[in-house]
């Protein structure tokens, strides 16, 4: 299906990432945003609030983030594409209900324009420290999809991608942007509506009295019915059967629990190859591979250039989707290289998954950054050089890492503000 012209403000703009995301949401066919303003995401919500009425969409400023996330799950079950927009503290407040949404298999998108934390942290400064929260923040077993844009254009493009994934897989999809990208202004091209491909939700078409809201098709995804359309729609966060009825603990068999929650995992994991999007550059004969995401990918470019000038064979693997994680890709690459280098604007999150997937075949170097700014290119080239030079056998990894941490935290990298 193509985007509807009334939703697409085709043109060439000089706008920031937040504005682009608001435009992208509308172009994707978002009909409802319930949100509570928070820097640095406010402009995305403002933009949607401004452009939505003309296109017949609705923005409601809710009383808080708990209400915001709850309204969009309701809207999702009413059958429309929906999203909320937030940042760190607001995102924390949404956690419980994100799990509720995952359990109900409600398609929705959350834009998190990450800022410095913990707590209220630094509202106008950047961070990438919510990455693990996106993955594991709500209790229980579930899977989500997370995308990390690196430019205002991508805030538009990946807003559309996020909605498409949410509608297709019936799961929460997070756009894990950050303050840098949200507040960065660049040229953004909003294409014509007929060039924007949209995924449509699978709606139930059978007899109304036969509908089972959680009976999956072969692709593991159950078709949805709109609330109020006449189908029996019983939805609950409790572990439920195909009818949607909660199973009382007396009768709850491991099998039922498994069939419900296992599918939340499998529908994403078994489709991971279709969901994951990566950008590779110069990795064929690389000794070192920089794994990065979001704004850090753009910052890494300069560091990689500096390292190449020194004759180091370094490639780049950008995680456009961070979750689900590209386990297989990292494991394959690990066999042929000396080390992965991971710049993150946090003290180590995605690096753990790189380590996990490297299986000890390659060293893994984190370049931490406390936030409120980005890595200086020399931080990245220094780490690449170190990883290339100090390439000890893997048995010595503990010693090797201690040495590296000393270099980073005590002597070395001039982490520029």
Partner 1 sequence: MAEIRFAGYGGQGIVRAAIIAGKAATIFENRFATMNQSFGPEARGGACSSQLILSDNEILYPYIITSAVLVAMSQEGYTVFEPELNEGGILLIDEDLVKPKPPRSKIKIFSVPATQIAEDLGNRIIANVVMLGFFTAITKLVSKEGMEKAVADSVPPRFKELNLTAFNKGFQHYKASK
Which residues make up the interface to partner 1 (CB under 8 A)?
12-14, 39, 123-124, 180, 183-187, 295, 298-299, 301-302, 374, 377
Using the minimum distance from each CB to partner 1, give the nearer residue, 156 or 169. 156
- Minimum CB separation from partner 1 for residue 318, in Å? 12
Q: 378: which residues sit within 8 A by CB, 6+ positions away?
A: 303, 306, 413, 414
Instruction: With beta carbons less than 8 A apart as the criterion, state whether 141 and 266 touch.
Output: no
- Minimum CB separation from partner 1 for residue 173, in Å? 25
Name the region of 144 (left: φ>0; alpha: ψ -120 to 50; beta: rest): beta
Using the minimum distance from each CB to partner 1, give the nearer residue, 39 or 84. 39
What pairing do the DSSP bridges indicate for beta strands 11-16 and 122-126? Answer: unpaired
Using the minimum distance from each CB to partner 1, give the nearer residue, 328 or 416. 416
Using the minimum distance from each CB to partner 1, give the nearer residue, 14 or 409. 14
- Minimum CB separation from partner 1 for residue 185, in Å? 4
Other Cβ atoms within 10 Å of 5 Cβ, number:
12
- Minimum CB separation from partner 1 for residue 374, in Å? 7
Cα-Cα-Cα-Cα torsion 403, 133, 58, 156, nearest 10 degrees, comes to 30
Using the minimum distance from each CB to partner 1, give the nearer residue, 124 or 200. 124
Residue 385, H or E segment: helix 377-389
Using the minimum distance from each CB to partner 1, give the nearer residue, 154 or 355. 154
Bridge partners of residue 177, in order along the sequence: 113
How far is residue 116's CA from residue 373's CA, in Å, rounded to a whole number?
Answer: 9
How far is residue 204's CA from residue 403's CA, in Å, rounded to a whole number?
Answer: 59
Bridge partners of residue 108, in order along the sequence: 172
- Minimum CB separation from partner 1 for residue 376, in Å? 8
Using the minimum distance from each CB to partner 1, give the nearer residue, 107 or 303. 303
- Minimum CB separation from partner 1 for residue 274, in Å? 29
- Minimum CB separation from partner 1 for residue 328, in Å? 28
Residue 316, H or E segment: strand 314-319
């Amino acid at each position: 299906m193509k985007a509807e012209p009334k939703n697409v403000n085709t043109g060439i703009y000089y706008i920031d990432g937040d504005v682009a995301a608001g435009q992208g949401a509308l172009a994707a066919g978002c009909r409802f945003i319930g949100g509570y303003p928070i820097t640095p995401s406010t402009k995305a919500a403002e933009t949607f609030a401004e452009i939505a009425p003309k296109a017949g969409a609705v923005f409601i400023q809710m009383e808080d983030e708990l209400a915001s996330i709850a309204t969009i799950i309701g809207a999702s079950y009413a059958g429309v594409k929906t999203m909320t927009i937030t940042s760190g503290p607001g995102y924390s407040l949404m956690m419980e209900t994100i799990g509720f949404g995952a359990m109900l298999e409600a398609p929705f998108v959350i834009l998190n324009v990450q800022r410095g934390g913990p707590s209220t942290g630094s509202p106008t400064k950047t961070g990438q420290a919510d990455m693990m929260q996106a993955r594991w923040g709500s209790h229980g077993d579930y899977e989500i999809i997370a995308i990390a844009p690196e430019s205002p254009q991508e805030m538009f493009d990946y807003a559309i991608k996020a909605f498409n994934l949410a509608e297709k897989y019936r799961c929460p999809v997070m756009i894990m942007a950050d303050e840098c990208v949200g507040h960065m202004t660049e040229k953004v091209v909003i294409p014509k509506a007929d060039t924007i491909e949209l995924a449509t939700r699978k709606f139930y078409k059978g007899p109304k009295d036969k509908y089972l809201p959680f009976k999956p098709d072969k692709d593991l995804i159950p078709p949805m019915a709109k609330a109020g359309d006449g189908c029996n729609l019983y939805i609950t966060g409790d572990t439920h059967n195909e009818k949607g009825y909660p199973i009382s603990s007396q009768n709850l068999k491991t099998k039922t629990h498994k069939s419900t929650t296992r599918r939340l995992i499998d529908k994403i994991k078994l489709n991971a190859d279709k969901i994951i999007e990566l950008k590779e550059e110069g990795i064929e004969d690389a000794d070192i591979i920089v794994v990065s995401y979001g704004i850090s990918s753009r910052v890494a470019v300069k560091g990689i250039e500096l390292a190449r000038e020194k004759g180091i064979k370094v490639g780049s693997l950008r995680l456009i989707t961070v979750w689900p994680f590209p386990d297989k890709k990292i494991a394959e690459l690990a066999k042929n290289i000396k080390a992965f280098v991971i710049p993150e604007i946090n003290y180590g999150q995605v690096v753990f998954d790189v380590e996990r997937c490297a299986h000890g075949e390659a060293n893994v170097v984190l370049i931490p950054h406390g936030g409120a700014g980005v890595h200086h290119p020399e931080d990245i080239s220094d780490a690449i050089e170190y990883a290339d030079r100090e390439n000890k056998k893997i048995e010595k990894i503990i010693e090797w890492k201690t040495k590296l941490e000393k270099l980073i935290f005590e002597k070395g990298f001039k982490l520029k503000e």
